[in-house]
Structure formats: structure tokens, C-alpha cells
Chains A and B, each alone.
Chain A
Amino acid sequence: MFKIERFVAGAALTLALAPAAQAAKAPPPLPPVPYEAGPEEFQQRLTSDVPVNRVLNQMEIGARAFWRGDYVMAKPALDDAIMRIDAVFAGSANAANARKLWYDEGSKDFKGEPYERAMAFLYRGLIYLHDADYENARAAFRSGLLQDAFAEEGQNRSDFALLLYLDAWASHVNGDKDLRDETLVQLKLLRPDFGGIGEKDDTLVLAETGQAPRKLGDGLDHAFFVYRRGKPLLENQVQVLNGAVVMRTVPMEDIYYQASTRGGREIDKILAGKAQFKATTGGVGSFLADTSVNLASNNSAFSANGQYGGAVAAVGVMSGVLLMVSSSAKPQADVRTWSSLPDTVHVLTLATKGKPQALTAHFLKAGVAVEGEDKPITCNVDENHKQLCLVRAH
């Protein structure tokens, strides 16, 4: 009887420590920030948010500052994100924790899924293009393609057509026609209908429509996530107007497609194991709890004052321990998302002889014009008289 009392006391101590176990839980994700809010909120988060979200916050700053035309802010943010994406986190304590039973996947340092990492390189490459550093722009686009190579499904590896296209464009404006043509051959396999880049083209128009793909927790204890298109999807086509001249852009990349076709992740197997453990310990704990309650209430010999009352109490405490173990296990998948990405990216190249263009964008959905005024396209001519023109639907 004395041993049972000691056991009960030990278990009670364990239960008393249970709240401390909650200290392992990462802070809840911060609320989403509307795209119109700009990068300032995320700059503030760099100092207030947990360090494991640093890359995510830098990505948000990078994209939002980029589309505001604030390259001075966007450059260091994207450089910092890329530096950490490129770094190898083998041996990182946070990465090791994410594999443990007691931590959810969100406790790891965020690097993003392959499509998010690729987009960080894409925006940095566009800034290199803006700065007339075409070789580093090309290197950035190629690095983005490598991130896409981590897709698990073979047919979807390195199929990021937009990055191939921009790689070819960087070679084109750098005068490396051999490299441009090599890349266009690869692009042709992914986009057979694409007409290519004109020899005299010197202006790139890049337009973004729609909202970022969403990651939604799914399955037992949200141990994996599924992708859904960003909402609302108000437009999916872009026309470029140069006075009375109307030009159709090419929808070169569907970011949602890139996100949703990468296949299962290695971490999903670990998370599934965690979810299974959580379910098993929870199930056994519940069974023992029910059993002890039934024994105690149905038979005087098994009640707390009867002959086997101590054993019943021990089973009851044991069930509590198992239930606590179950509740402490964290199989949740990481659903942190780069929220300022688009749904689709459209491109167009023009020959303008380096003259500044007054272009506007007209947005449509399934061929029908969307409500609202056309948007002016921002064009910048670089030192080599090449132009980068940018517009985003919202």
C-alpha cells in the first residue's frame, strides 16, 4: 500500500509539472497583415517576433517593399532571407526540436516551402535586373530553380517556367545569346506555346494577379497541410495597353500550381508518427480512466476503501499521465505562409529602343474585364537602356 501511495504522490508531482511542459510550445502565429499595409508591420515584427520567423518576416518585407518600389528596403531583407535559405541547418537545435514529439513543426526556423524559397530568389533577381547586374540576376533565377528541384514528384522538379524565362531574359539583356537560347530550349518543353524573346526586345513587363496560395492544416491533429488557392481570385488575365495598342501578356507561372504539386515532404512521415503516438497514448489513457472509474463505482472491493482500492487509484493516475503525454505531443504541420505572393505571374517583352513607356494594365477574369480602373505600369530604364516594367493587380 505504501508503494502505491508513493506512486500516486510521484504521479501527482508529474501532473503538477504539466503546465511547465507547455513552456515548450512556440508562441501562437501573429495575425495576418493585409497586403495594402506594406512592409512596416513586418519590420516591427523583426524585433518583436520569435527569431524562428525571421526569414518569413524578411520575405514579407522583401516582397511588399519591392512592389512599393522601395528597393533600398527590399534588398537587404531578401539578401538576409536568401542567406538563411542557403545556410545548412544540419545540427540546428530548432530543426532537431521540430522532429521531437513535444514540439510542432512550426518550432523550426522558417525557410519556406520550395515555391516560397524560389520566389525569394525571383524577387532578388528582379532587383538585380533593375540594377543592371544581369549576371547576378541570372544566378538568382538559377538558384531559385534549384529550390524547385526539391519537389518530391519527379515530373514537377525544376518546372518553374517563370524562373527559366527570367534566366533567359537576363542572358538576353546581358548579350549572352548562346545561354539565352539554351534556356529557351528548356522553357519550350514546359511552355510549348510560348513564342520566345524578340532579338530587339529590351523591355520586360511583369504583372502579378491574385493572392498567395494558402496552407490549411488537415488530417489527424493537422499533421499535414493542403494547399488552396488564395482568395479572392478577382482576375487571372492581363492586357498591356500602350495608348490604343492592346497587348496580351503570357501567364508564365501559376504559383498555386507550383505550391501544390511538390508532393509529400519527408517531415510529413515524422509528423504522421507523432500523430499516431498521440492517438495511441490518448486512447490507452482514456481506456484506463474509464476502467478505473467503472471498477471503483461497480464493486466495493475495487473502490478506494476496498481491498484493491490502491491499485484502482494507481490505474486512475496512470491514465492521467498517459492523457497528459498525449496532450503534450505536437504533431501539427507548419502552416506559416508567405502571404504577399501572387497567384499568377504574367510576362511580356517589347522592343522600345530604350524609350520610357507609358503603359497601363487592364485586368480580366476568364476573358471578362474586372471592375475598376486600369492600373499604370511602373517602368524603369537602367544604365544600359533596358527596361523593367512592373504592375500588380492589388
Chain B
Amino acid sequence: MYLKSTTAGLAVILGLACVQPALAAPKLKPQPSDTVYRDTTSPDGVKGVGTESQDIVSMSDAMVRDLLTVPELMNKPTAPRIIVDPKFFRNESTEIIDKALITDRIRVNLIRSAQGRMRFIGREYAGAVEEERALKDVGKVDVGTTGRTRAQAGADYRLVGRIGTRDAIDTRTGKTSRFSQYTFELLDMEYGEIIWSNLYEFKKEARDDVVYR
């Protein structure tokens, strides 16, 4: 009788084990979900070791706050002219990134915060300006309301910088680690002096599932 009970118990366990796959059938079609707005400063729902929206918001806001304290920019009787675009913001990292996301945010927030104490040159739009000036030159269009100048505006300073990363992978555990460093500098466009610098850095680690190692 004891033998029978044991056998029966074992059979039940085995039976449950066999039924499990049916109960845990994979959801081959993921459940759809409504689009939801997220706070741009919140961590990404999709995990990785790259730059997230919260990093872009945090770093650009930090740079704007710091730039607003630079005496060469804020205490000049004549507002200095600055170029803030991605052209000389070099990406030397392992991360594919749209650099303009960072420089655009810095420029927009600086323009709004500086309240005229700095002037900003749209050098990346120089072609558009040149086209309009050419039309004015030949009289195809009138001079507008602000009058003509001899040339487009030159800049006193330009935002330059570099994106760098150091990656490490532990093949034993599958853990990946990335140190990211964003360097921002303001370059004097006449003398070549760097009048301001700041860094934004972060390090992220992640470990993927063992089935991908």
C-alpha cells in the first residue's frame, strides 16, 4: 500500500509537470498597450547602457545653468555672439547619437534664459541666410524691415566638445559596463582660448539574459 501511495504521489507530481507547458504556453503575440506620455526626466522603460532621455535633459540643463554664470558671457557691455550647434561637438564614442538633441536643448534654454545678454548665431542656417541675401542683392525681394548689413554675423565664441565612452564586457557573467563622458567647452573664436569647460559623466551596467551569452 505504501508503495502504491508513493507511486501515486509521484505520478501526480509528474502529471503536474507535464501539464505546466500547457498552462505556461508562450504569448507569441505581445499584448498591445495604449501610447502613454512619460516624464522626459524619467528612466527609459527599455534598458541598456546608452544615453537616455533623462541624461540628455540633465546634462543640457546643467550646462545651461553653468554657462549663465560665466563672467565673459554675462558681464559684457555688448552682448557676445555665440554659436551653439553640433558641428564641432565630436562623437568619438561607441554610441550612435543625434548630437543635435543636446546642442539644440542647450541653445534653446540659453536663449530663453539669457534674456538678450548673449546673442546666438545660426551658423548651420548660413546657407538659408545667404540665399535670402542674394535675392535682396539682385532686387528680387526688398530689404525687409531691419535693413542690410555688410555680411553675416561673425561669432565671438563657439560651443565645442567631445563624447567619449569606455566600454567593458565581462564574458564570464555577460555584464556590460559603459562609462560615458560628455565634455563641453566654449572656444574663443578669435584667440582660441577655452573660456569655459564642464563635464557630464555617467556609468551604467547591465547584464543580459544568459540565453544571449
**Interface set of A (CB-CB < 8 Å, partner B):** 3-4, 6-7, 10-11, 13-14, 17-18, 20-21, 23-24, 26-27, 50-52, 82-83, 86-100, 102-103, 105, 107-108, 111, 124, 128, 135-136, 138-140, 142-143, 145-146, 149-152, 157, 176, 179, 265-267, 270, 310-311, 314-315, 317-318, 321-322, 324-325, 328
Q: In whole Å, how far is A161's beta carbon from the nearest beta carbon of chain B?
A: 17
Task: Provide the main secondary structure of the chain A interface.
Answer: helix
The CA-CA distance from A248 to B146 in the complex, in Å, is: 61
- Nearest 7 interchain pairs by C-beta: A20-B22, A14-B15, A95-B209, A102-B21, A24-B21, A142-B94, A135-B91
The CA-CA distance from A140 to B96 in the complex, in Å, is: 6
Q: B22 contacts which chain A residues (CB < 8 A)?
A: 17, 20-21, 23-24
With contact pairs A14-B18, A21-B18 given, residues A179 and B94 touching in the complex (Cβ less than 8 Å): no
Q: B19 contacts which chain A residues (CB < 8 A)?
A: 14, 17, 20-21
**Interface set of B (CB-CB < 8 Å, partner A):** 1, 3-5, 7-8, 10-12, 14-15, 17-22, 24-30, 46-48, 50, 90-97, 99, 167, 169, 171, 174, 176, 206-213
Contact between A111 and B94, CB atoms less than 8 A apart: no
With contact pairs A20-B22, A26-B26 given, residues A7 and B97 touching in the complex (Cβ less than 8 Å): no
Contact between A267 and B211, CB atoms less than 8 A apart: yes
Contact between A135 and B15, CB atoms less than 8 A apart: no
What is the chain A residue whose CB lies nearest that of B174? Answer: A266
Given A88-B48, A146-B94, A321-B14, list of 14 further CB < 8 A pairs?
A3-B5, A4-B4, A7-B7, A17-B22, A23-B25, A88-B208, A89-B209, A100-B24, A102-B24, A108-B211, A139-B95, A267-B213, A270-B210, A314-B8
The CA-CA distance from A107 to B46 in the complex, in Å, is: 21
The CA-CA distance from A246 to B119 in the complex, in Å, is: 56
What is the chain A residue whose CB lies nearest that of B94? Answer: A142
The CA-CA distance from A97 to B174 in the complex, in Å, is: 19
**CB < 8 Å: which of B14, B30, B167, B210 contacts A146?**
B167
Q: In whole Å, how far is A229's beta carbon from the nearest beta carbon of chain B?
A: 25
Q: A151 contacts which chain B residues (CB < 8 A)?
A: 171
Contact between A107 and B26, CB atoms less than 8 A apart: yes
**CB < 8 Å: which of A88, A98, A152, A324 contacts B211?**
A98
B25, B97, B167, B211 interface centre (most CB from chain A within 10 Å): B211
Contact between B4 and A311, CB atoms less than 8 A apart: yes
What is the chain B residue whose CB lies nearest that of A125? Answer: B96
Contact between B212 and A89, CB atoms less than 8 A apart: yes
Q: A83 contacts which chain B residues (CB < 8 A)?
A: 46
The CA-CA distance from A97 to B7 in the complex, in Å, is: 29
Q: In whole Å, how far is B51's beta carbon from the nearest beta carbon of chain A?
A: 11
Contact between A50 and B28, CB atoms less than 8 A apart: yes
With contact pairs A88-B207, A143-B96 given, residues A94 and B26 touching in the complex (Cβ less than 8 Å): yes
The CA-CA distance from A6 to B92 in the complex, in Å, is: 71
